[in-house]
Amino acid sequence: MVERNEIKLIAVGGSYGALEAMKEILSNLSKECSIPIAAVFHRNRDSKEEAMVEYLSKYTTMKVKEISDNEEISSGILYFAPGGYHLLLENRSRFILYLDEAINYNLPSIDLFFESASDVFGSELLGILLSGANRDGAFGLCHIQKRGGTTIIQKPSSALSPTMPESALEICEPDRIEEPIEIAEIINKFNGDKNR
């Protein structure tokens, strides 16, 4: 069950509608969320980092930042993958950005990130797939599950675009299917409910 594992990294994927879901999750997180969160959202390569960081920073006390190549993973930070690069984990403590061709038209690829993160963290990874308009992330979420990680899919009826969560539900059975506010409560439990 979800409550048993000790989570060292939260991996989040999404596309259209995921930013709104993320805002709701952050608004309901405990103030002292110490678990690092790394998110891959489909973005244009020329999209403005500052706009996303500024927007989401309004809803959390966590530091929000875009990932730099070879960046060390630190607790209490919400990281975003930049557009135009794939995001991988070199090991349990460092991100790497990989410039390559798009995978199924996606750069960054949620599937690739989920697979990389689960290969490194195994059962200590929490994978969350949010709203999105294509199938990216479905196979990656299944890979997290196969490696013993915990998986959550946003309830399709609560997603602005249900294609991404529905695609994952077609090929795997996640640990939980929840609306964003319930996803936040699950994260709070992993975090020890420090401020609840």
Among residues 15, 158, 161, 167, which one is catalytic?
Answer: 15
Among residues 42, 111, 143, 161, which one is catalytic?
Answer: 42
- Locus of tokens 């399709």: 156
Q: Are 160 and 17 in contact (CB under 8 A)?
A: yes
Q: Are 151 and 183 in contact (CB under 8 A)?
A: no
Count, in order, helices (H) and strands (E) of the chain.
Answer: 6, 9
- DSSP H or E segment with residue 121: helix 110-121
DSSP conformation class of 78:
E
Q: Are 103 and 109 in contact (CB under 8 A)?
A: yes
The yes-or-no answer on residue 42 being catalytic is yes
Among residues 30, 109, 116, 136, which one is catalytic?
Answer: 136
Backbone conformation region of residue 76, classed left if phi is above 0, alpha if psi is from -120 to 50, else beta: left
Question: What number of residues does the chain have?
Answer: 196
| Residues assigned a catalytic role | 15, 42, 136
